[in-house]
Amino acid sequence: MIQLSHLEQTIYFASQRRGVNLLNADVVTRLVDVSRKHAVNLLSSMARKGALYRIGRGRYVVIPPDVLYERKSYVIDPHLIIDELIKANGAEDLYYVAYQSAAALHGAAHQLPFALMVATPHQRRPIELGQARIQFVQLKRLKFFGFWEMSYHEAHLNVSDREKTILDCLERFDLCGGVDEVARTISVLLEEIASDRLLDYLNRMGNQAMTQRLGLILERLSTLQAVDESLIADIARLVGEHVYPLDPHGPAGGGLETRWRIRENVDVLRASNVHWPG
């Protein structure tokens, strides 16, 4: 049986009523009338008793009541706390869930990401949450666009939209299971994108290699599913003189696709080894 003091119970149930998933000393002083030093001690005590889970210096996740009193197993869902965690840091709260984690929220990931991938303008250390993990990826400020606030159960979090998810995954497919996995993700996301928005984002990203890779992948996908031909044509007009490998981490060689100035060192459709939509 969890034995919380009266004041600890007050803190615990006040956090539940207000939908607070993450506690630190400053939050506790707003919930109850105690000094910050006393709040630190209360948090430490509640963690020792199993009502909180420590995730870093002075930061604690509130264990849900059904887990606390029914002894259910508990795995922290980082989606539920990421917004509070960023804002509780006291620094700039600019962030969004990105890459394969965003693709998963859009229902387009074929591989579950090993961690919650979060883009931020600052370098941050990863956070271990027992069996879960939050991995931060530093992103240039000029690429901080194309995200919106999503409701996730009782929480809210910033997530890249479908168009930005395509470009983020393609720019950093080393974080997303490889170029063939990203091509499969793109094939799903294409069903609900705005072509003009994708093209606008593409120009804002300023990544020539990514532009040419996207054009080739869209052209390959067009043999299997409906793809906006005008979008492919618009991207073709952005092709530069430099030749890039489709997969810079793949084998050397491969045929040159002259329209896209891409050396096709992997066959993204065959390498995916799945039944593509058709």
Q: Which of 101-105, 127-131, 165-169, 186-190 has the lowest mean pLDDT?
A: 127-131
Tokens of 137: 């990826």
Tell me the whole-structure pTM to 2 decimals. 0.78
Q: Which of 146-160, 225-239, 262-276 has the lowest mean pLDDT?
A: 262-276
What digits encode the pLDDT tens for the residues 105-140? 998 887 777 889 999 999 989 988 777 889 999 999
pLDDT at 91 exceeding the cut of 60? no
Strands 255-257 and 262-264, bridge-based pairing: antiparallel
* Mean pLDDT for the stretch of residues 176-185: 91
Higher-pLDDT residue of 153, 35: 35
* Mean pLDDT for the stretch of residues 48-59: 84
* Mean pLDDT for the stretch of residues 93-99: 93
Report pLDDT for 21.
85
Report pLDDT for 78.
87
Of the candidates 148, 223, 224, 228, which has an alpha carbon nearest to the alpha carbon of residue 190?
228
- Residue 105 DSSP SS3: helix
Residues 6 or more apart whose Cβ sits within 8 Å of residue 178: 247, 249
* Mean pLDDT for the stretch of residues 248-277: 80
Report pLDDT for 274.
44
Higher-pLDDT residue of 17, 70: 17
Report pLDDT for 129.
79
How far CA 213 is from CA of 191, 203, 232, in Å, comes to 19, 14, 11
Mean pLDDT of all residues belonging to the chain: 88
Report pLDDT for 86.
86
pLDDT at 273 exceeding the cut of 70? no
pLDDT at 277 exceeding the cut of 60? no
pLDDT at 159 exceeding the cut of 80? yes
pLDDT > 70: what percent of the chain?
A: 92
- Residue 36 DSSP SS3: helix
Report pLDDT for 268.
84
Give CA–CA dist 80/47, Å, rounded.
19
What digits encode the pLDDT tens for the residues 9-46? 999 989 888 888 889 999 999 999 999 999 999 999 99
pLDDT at 145 exceeding the cut of 50? yes
Angle at 151 between CA 148 and CA 154, to 5 degrees: 150
